[in-house]
Structure formats: structure tokens, C-alpha cells
């Protein structure tokens, strides 16, 4: 005798199919996408991998490992600087939109491809204590006891330490063929996340807090400026003789306003 079909028996497979479909689709719809939320150092997951893929497509060579670590942070800061954004290492939804546009343009859309060999070199070794030192090549070695922002400023200073002096350099764009005194310091501080945009020396006379800092001190007047980072002077004056902006010798502070970044 044929099996009798009831209304309940006809509905059961349909209900089961709906439950199965729901269990498969729900996790995918709940997954965060790159650009939905602000990303920062320490984050991980598929949205960070999306960020890293976009950085690669834009020319900022980045490991796609799903972890927002120091390597990804440096690439984000390079992107922020080149796009004249606040250099804070955080990728907001609006930043993500700009990065997507840069990824569509590709590396050839940049005036200078940011994923250069210089930027992908490993971090320089550190020296024990709180005083930076100079290597034989004239570049600075950060002290192990320094805050990360100070180490980042030293690393950024090394990137342009041997570039030529260029009046106005570093003010129209972050990556330039040369830098003047204020452009040099602005570059180092912006890459370290300590400054939002480049400033001329006169404006630097009111930057941050008054007086000398524990780690970074800026000395400025209307015509010139330099800074001292963990005991080393970063100064365009004397660069031609020393071959680098980093110099161990001190110089007179007469007529210069001393300023420092808050907390440093």
C-alpha cells in the first residue's frame, strides 16, 4: 500500500532545507570586510588580509598574513604620508576608500613607487641604553630604551639622511628628491606619527610643548631649525661635510626656540 503523504511530512524537508541553508550562510554574512571598520595595529582576520592585498595592489609591498603588525603598520603610514592623511597608522573606512582607489591606479599611478627596496629593508639593530649612536655609514642606531615613536623617527631620518638639500623640499609632498631643514624634520616626525603635516621652521617655533624634551627636542627660528633625537643632532647644516644629516656634535641654541612633542 503506498505511503500516505500528510501536510506535516511535506513541510518537514522544506524546513530542514531552510535550516541547513541558514547555518551555511550566516557565518559568511557576519564576516567583517575591509573598509567596514577602522583597522589598527594588533587587529587580525580576513579584513586585515583585504587591507594587505589593497596595499600590495597600490605598490606598498606587504605580507598578506592577516595580522596587522609592525610591517603592515609601516606600509599604512607610508600610504598615509603619500596621500597627505593623518599619519597615525589607523585605517578608517574613508581611508579604506582612498586606498581602494590607489589600488585601482596601481603602483604606476604614484609619482614614486612607495614599495621601494629602501622601505623594505629590515630594521636596523638597536644599541643598549638611551643614547642613539652613529654607524660607520653615518646613519643612526636607535637606543633600545627609547619609545617606539622615537625609534620610528630615527628610522625615518635614516631614510632621507643622505638626500640633497632642496629649498622647499618635503613640503609639497612627503616623498621628495631633496629636503630643506624643516622638510627634513617634518618627514621624520610625520613618518613616526608625531605630526599631521609638514611645517616651516617659523611655525615650528610654536609646535608641541615649550622647552626641551626627554627624547626629542626641536630648535627653531624663522630661518633655520634642527632637532636632537636621543642625543643625536638631525640637521641639514653640516650635511655636506658630514655626508649625512645625523651628526654627533652639538651646536649653539642661541636665538632658537626649544620645543618638544608632548610626552617625549
Would residue 156 count as lying in a domain? Answer: yes
Q: What is the pLDDT of residue 219?
A: 97
Q: Which of 72, 101, 117 finishes a domain? A: 117
**Residues 112 and 158 both lie in one domain:** no
The answer to whether position 163 is within a domain reads yes
Looking at the structure, do residues 165 and 184 belong to the same domain, yes or no?
yes
Residues 96 and 177 in one domain: no
150 and 190 belong to one structural domain: yes
Domain closes at, from 117, 135, 150 = 117
What's 165's domain CATH number? 3.90.1720.10
Tell whether the model's pLDDT for residue 7 goes beyond 70.
Answer: no
pLDDT tens for 52-70 read 999 888 878 888 999 999 8
More confident residue, 213 or 4: 213
* pLDDT tens digits for range 111-140: 443 444 444 344 457 889 999 999 988 899
Q: How confident is the model at residue 102 (pLDDT cuts 50, 70, 90)?
A: confident
- Written in H, E and C, the secondary structure of the chain is CCCCCCHHHHHHHHHHHHHHHHHHHHHHHHCCCCCCCCECCCCECHHHHHHHHHHHHHCCCCCCCCECCHHHHHHHHHHHHHCCCCCCCCECHHHHHHHHHHHHHCHHHCCCCCCCHHHHCCCCCCECCCCCEECCCCCEECECCCCHHHHHHHHHHHHHCCCCECCCCCCCCCCCCCECHHHHHHHHHHHCCCCCCCCCHHHHCCCCEECCCCCEEEEECCCCEEEEECCEEECCCCHHHHCCCEECCCCCCCCCEEEECCCC
**218 within a domain of the structure (yes/no):** yes
Question: Domain with 89 in it: what CATH number?
Answer: 1.10.101.10
152 within some domain: yes
Residue 10 placed within a domain: no
Tens digits of per-residue pLDDT, 73-100? 888 887 877 776 777 889 999 999 988 8
**Does any domain span residue 144?**
yes
Residue that is last in its domain, among 117, 140, 155: 117
Q: What's the structural domain count of the chain?
A: 2
Please say if the pLDDT value at position 214 is more than 70: yes
242 and 129, same structural domain?
yes
Q: 194 and 146 in one domain?
A: yes
pTM of the model: 0.56
Listed range (208-212, 217-221, 228-232, 251-255) with the worst mean pLDDT: 251-255
Which tens digit of pLDDT belongs to each residue from 191-213?
999 998 899 999 999 999 999 99
In a domain, 21, yes or no: no
**Domain interval for residue 195:** 123-260
- Average the pLDDT over 206-223 and give the result: 95
Residues 139, 230: one domain?
Answer: yes
Amino acid at each position: 500500500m503506498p505511503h500516505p503523504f500528510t501536510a506535516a511530512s511535506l513541510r518537514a524537508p522544506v524546513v530542514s532545507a531552510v535550516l541547513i541553508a541558514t547555518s551555511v550562510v550566516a557565518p559568511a554574512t557576519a564576516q567583517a570586510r575591509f573598509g567596514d571598520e577602522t583597522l589598527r595595529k594588533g587587529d587580525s582576520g580576513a579584513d586585515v588580509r583585504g587591507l594587505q592585498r589593497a596595499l600590495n595592489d597600490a605598490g606598498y609591498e606587504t605580507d598578506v598574513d592577516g595580522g596587522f603588525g609592525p610591517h603592515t603598520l609601516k606600509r599604512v603610514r607610508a600610504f598615509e604620508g603619500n596621500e597627505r592623511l593623518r599619519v597615525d597608522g589607523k585605517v578608517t573606512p574613508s581611508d579604506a576608500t582612498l586606498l581602494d582607489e590607489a589600488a585601482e591606479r596601481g603602483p604606476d599611478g604614484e609619482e614614486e613607487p612607495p614599495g621601494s627596496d629602501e622601505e623594505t629593508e629590515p630594521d636596523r639593530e638597536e644599541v643598549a641604553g638611551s643614547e642613539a649612536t652613529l654607524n660607520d655609514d653615518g646613519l643612526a642606531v636607535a637606543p633600545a630604551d627609547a619609545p617606539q615613536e622615537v625609534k620610528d623617527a630615527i628610522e625615518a631620518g635614516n631614510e632621507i639622511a643622505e638626500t640633497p638639500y632642496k629649498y622647499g623640499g618635503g613640503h609639497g609632498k612627503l616623498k621628495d628628491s631633496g629636503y630643506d631643514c624643516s622638510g627634513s624634520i617634518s618627514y621624520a616626525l610625520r613618518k613616526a606619527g608625531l605630526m599631521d603635516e609638514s611645517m616651516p621652521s617659523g611655525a615650528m617655533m610654536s609646535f608641541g610643548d615649550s622647552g626641551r624634551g626627554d627624547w626629542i627636542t626641536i630648535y627653531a627660528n624663522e630661518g633655520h631649525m634642527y632637532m636632537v633625537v636621543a642625543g643625536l643632532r638631525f640637521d641639514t647644516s653640516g650635511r655636506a661635510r658630514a655626508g649625512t644629516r645625523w651628526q654627533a656634535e652639538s651646536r649653539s641654541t642661541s636665538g632658537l626656540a626649544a620645543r618638544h612633542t608632548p610626552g617625549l
